[in-house]
Amino acid sequence: MTATRSATPVVERYSRAVRWFHAATYVTVLVLLGTGWWLLTGHEGRPSPAARLTGVSDVALHTYVGWALTVIAALGVTFGARAAATFLRESVRYDRGDLRWFVRWPAALATGRFTRHEGHFDPGQRIANLALVGLLATLVGTGTGLAVVAGGASYVWLLRLHTWATYVITPVLLGHILIAAGVLPGYRGVAQAMHLGGRLRVAVAQRVWPGWLERHASRVTAAAGSVSEPTGGTPHG
């Protein structure tokens, strides 16, 4: 559902369950990224700020939080199967004209004048989604492997894959955070899609996800504007 606490028209792009899943994922991923880089840069045995705060060694913290992420992912695909299917379908989507979106994208980062696209995600987000899901799956798979195997030849390979996936995912995550935080002028206001009650300004949705907003609005109108649906809520304006 959507709330309008101010005169600004807002739209709910993600349900509360999706927003909590996203938050749980990024809290665990950030701890894993931090402790992982701490270990990778040769600080093992010296407690990081996170280890001091929790009183748990970095290795143990990394492994416990790794299991937590594994459980979150398993719960997500089990109880959010429909949302996960929609997410994947929308992430592999390709429409004519999407290449033009990429050509205009660098300038649009500053101006906000994106080429229109029809997806739930913009074409750049779709690539980032696929990269993140693939790399996180690799990290969870190899990470649980490292926790279980403990040593030997298979450990060496799992560790190599785990480390390389870390190198690749780090810039992708940083890019995602930079864009999703709404720091760049073109993406200003997008953070509310996932945070602070999910009240995204309609003008922002119009600028960044125009095709989705139109479909969403017409679905809501068809449903007499009363009940919220799986991927979002009601645009108010």
Q: Rule CB under 8 A: which residues touch another protein? A: 42-47, 51, 55-57, 59, 63, 67, 70-71, 73-74, 77-78, 81-82, 84-85, 89, 144-156, 159-160
Tell the residue number behind the tokens 């864009």, with chain if given.
Answer: 179
Task: Specify the stretch interacting with ligand HEM by CB under 6 A; choose among 9-17, 33-41, 81-89, 203-211.
Answer: 33-41
Q: What angle do CA 17, 20, 24 make, to 5 degrees?
A: 140
Distance CA 195, CA 193 (A): 6
Alpha carbon distance 15, 170 (integer Å):
27
Per-residue HEC secondary structure of 72-128 comes to HHHHHHHHCHHHHHHHHHHHCCCCCCHHHHHHHHHHHHHHCCCCCCCCCCCHHHHHH
Closest to ligand HEM by CB, 162 or 216: 162
Identify which of residues 32 and 213 has a Cβ nearer to ligand HEM in the complex.
32
Q: Which residues contact 192 (CB under 8 A, 6 or more apart)?
A: 10, 198, 199, 200, 201, 204
Taking CB under 6 A as the criterion, the residue among 162, 199, 201, 216 binding ligand HEM is 162
29 binds ligand HEM (CB under 6 A): yes
Sketch the per residue contact string, 59 through 98, with ligand HEM: x for CB under 6 A, - otherwise. Answer: x--xx--xx-xx----------------------------
Side-chain-side CA neighbours of 8 within 13 Å: the count stands at 10
Which segment (34-42, 46-54, 104-112, 114-122) binds ligand HEM by CB under 6 A? Answer: 34-42
Whichever of 78 and 226 has its CB closer to another protein, that residue is 78
Which residues bind to ligand HEM, rule: CB under 6 A?
Answer: 29, 32-33, 36-37, 39-40, 59, 62-63, 66-67, 69-70, 139-140, 143-144, 146-147, 159, 162-163, 166
